[in-house]
Amino acid sequence: MAGKKLRQILFGNTIHVFSYNWKKACFRFHDPSSELAFTLEVGKGGARSILMAVQGSIIKYLLFTRKGKDCNFGSLCEISKKEQEQALAAALAGILWAAGAAQKATICLVSDDTYIASTPDYSVDNFTERLQLFEFLEKEAAEKFIYDHLQCFRGQGSHGVILFLYSLIFSRTFERLQMDLDVTTTQLLQPNAGGFLCRQAVLNMILTGRASPNVFNGCEKGRSQETLHGVLTRSDVGYLQWGKDALEDDRLSQVGSMLKTPKLPIWLCNINGNYSILFCTNRQLLSDWKMERLFDLYFYSGRSSQKKLVHLTIDTHSHHWERDQQEEKHGPRRRFSPVEMAIRTKWSEATINWNGTIPFF
């Protein structure tokens, strides 16, 4: 029974249902005429991390994979409503296709018919019981289908993020998920403050196509000599994390080079549990070491207060006395911006210029 299996892999039981914040989450862009036209509106709750991970793929499409467009910052901020729709369809289809091992994508929509009855060990949510599955053996066909049914993912009351998560699970298949996961992760969501947060396996499935529960490269042995599964290949969109309470000597929590150095200069960032995006418009940034001396990054926090992207200039070859001067100039708190700390997990000696923006704390 698909509904029960979905609940089991998500929550670890068949009784839990999604919270209000999850149910109202969908894929909605900012206004096409605004400077944030290419970014998704990100609400509260556990769905934030999924929206931000998909945001990375949207930027990948708009900057680097769509045909006939220059990849520069200006082209991002000038996209039309139709280009927003094309970008979302391409991003969602690409993620599902990769999860299906580039062989098949499965897309879930909600029908008017109920396929699952309520039982004592299954709580009805009047949504999961009405799922209809559509399978595609070509990525282009999946993309066209999503484009034609975009309202199912972005409309108010559509449960769009949950539908995408269900599609991701069915595309990956329950069999593959069991092989991806390890003893540390038996379910994809974890309870948190009355709701549910995504575990790393969900984010890695969006980034890499595989639901690896950990962020290190390859496989490692745990404390009891159990095999723990990490990331096996470089993905297009990377991942950085920094937390003020993280233990620096815990090697199993350190992000490996597969995620730190992706194929394209886009990173999903987990900074103190808050998800954001860093990216560079220069495709060559990670393939030519000379480019990494002085370069620009753009930062999107997803906060409703952010009305335009933050432009950061990263200098990895400044001398230590220049760094000291920079930090003295901005006072002692300056050096502890969590965004800077996350960037320094990738470029350890970097000096970061916020170009007039007050640093985020």
At 245-290, the pLDDT tens digits run 776 657 778 898 999 999 999 999 999 999 999 999 999 898 888 8
pLDDT tier, 1 (very low <50, low <70, confident <90, very high otherwise): low
Question: How far is it, in rounded angstroms, from Cα 174 to Cα 275?
Answer: 27
Q: For residues 206 and 198, is the Cβ–Cβ distance under 8 A? A: no
pLDDT tier, 329 (very low <50, low <70, confident <90, very high otherwise): low
Average pLDDT over residues 310-315: 95
Q: Is the pLDDT of residue 350 over 50?
A: yes
Query: Which pLDDT does position 166 carry in this prediction?
Result: 97
Average pLDDT over residues 19-26: 92
Average pLDDT over residues 85-103: 97
Q: Is the pLDDT of residue 52 over 60?
A: yes
pLDDT tier, 233 (very low <50, low <70, confident <90, very high otherwise): very high
Residue 7 belongs to a domain = yes
Query: Which pLDDT does position 333 carry in this prediction?
Result: 43
Q: Dihedral sign, CA of 35, 21, 134, 175?
A: positive
Query: Which pLDDT does position 334 carry in this prediction?
Result: 46
Strand-strand pairing, 274-279 and 105-110: unpaired
Report pLDDT digits (tens) over 33-50.
789 999 999 988 899 999
Q: Is the pLDDT of residue 126 over 80?
A: no
Query: Which pLDDT does position 165 carry in this prediction?
Result: 98
Q: Percentage of residues in the chain with pLDDT exceeding 90?
A: 60
Query: Which pLDDT does position 349 carry in this prediction?
Result: 87
Report the mean per-residue pLDDT for the chain: 88
Domain that residue 294 falls in: 1-353
Write down the H helix ranges in the chain. 2-11, 20-24, 47-60, 73-77, 81-99, 139-148, 151-154, 160-172, 174-180, 200-208, 257-260, 320-329, 338-344
Residues 6 or more apart from 119 whose CB is under 8 A from it? none
Identify the H or E element spanning 353: strand 351-353
Residue with tokens 């949950």: 162
Query: Which pLDDT does position 230 carry in this prediction?
Result: 85
Residue 334 belongs to a domain = yes
Residues in the chain: 361
Query: Which pLDDT does position 221 carry in this prediction?
Result: 79
pLDDT tier, 95 (very low <50, low <70, confident <90, very high otherwise): very high
Q: Is the pLDDT of residue 321 over 60?
A: no
Residue 360 belongs to a domain = no
Query: Which pLDDT does position 67 carry in this prediction?
Result: 82
Query: Which pLDDT does position 220 carry in this prediction?
Result: 83
Residue 325 belongs to a domain = yes
Query: Which pLDDT does position 359 carry in this prediction?
Result: 87
- The closest alpha carbon to 266, from 236, 234, 300, belongs to 236
pLDDT tier, 167 (very low <50, low <70, confident <90, very high otherwise): very high
Q: Is the pLDDT of residue 346 over 60?
A: yes
Q: What is the pTM of this model?
A: 0.92
Q: Is the pLDDT of residue 332 over 70?
A: no
Number of C-beta neighbours around residue 181 at 10 A: 19
Number of C-beta neighbours around residue 198 at 10 A: 22
Q: Is the pLDDT of residue 104 over 90?
A: yes
Q: How many domains does the chain have?
A: 1
Question: How far is it, in rounded angstroms, from Cα 215 to Cα 257?
Answer: 9
Q: Is the pLDDT of residue 54 over 50?
A: yes
Q: Is the pLDDT of residue 331 over 60?
A: no
Average pLDDT over residues 92-100: 98
Query: Which pLDDT does position 16 carry in this prediction?
Result: 86
pLDDT tier, 62 (very low <50, low <70, confident <90, very high otherwise): very high
Q: Percentage of residues in the chain with pLDDT exceeding 70?
A: 90
Which of 14-23, 155-164, 215-224 is the most confident on average? 155-164
Residue type, 24: K
Q: Is the pLDDT of residue 324 over 60?
A: no
Average pLDDT over residues 162-183: 95
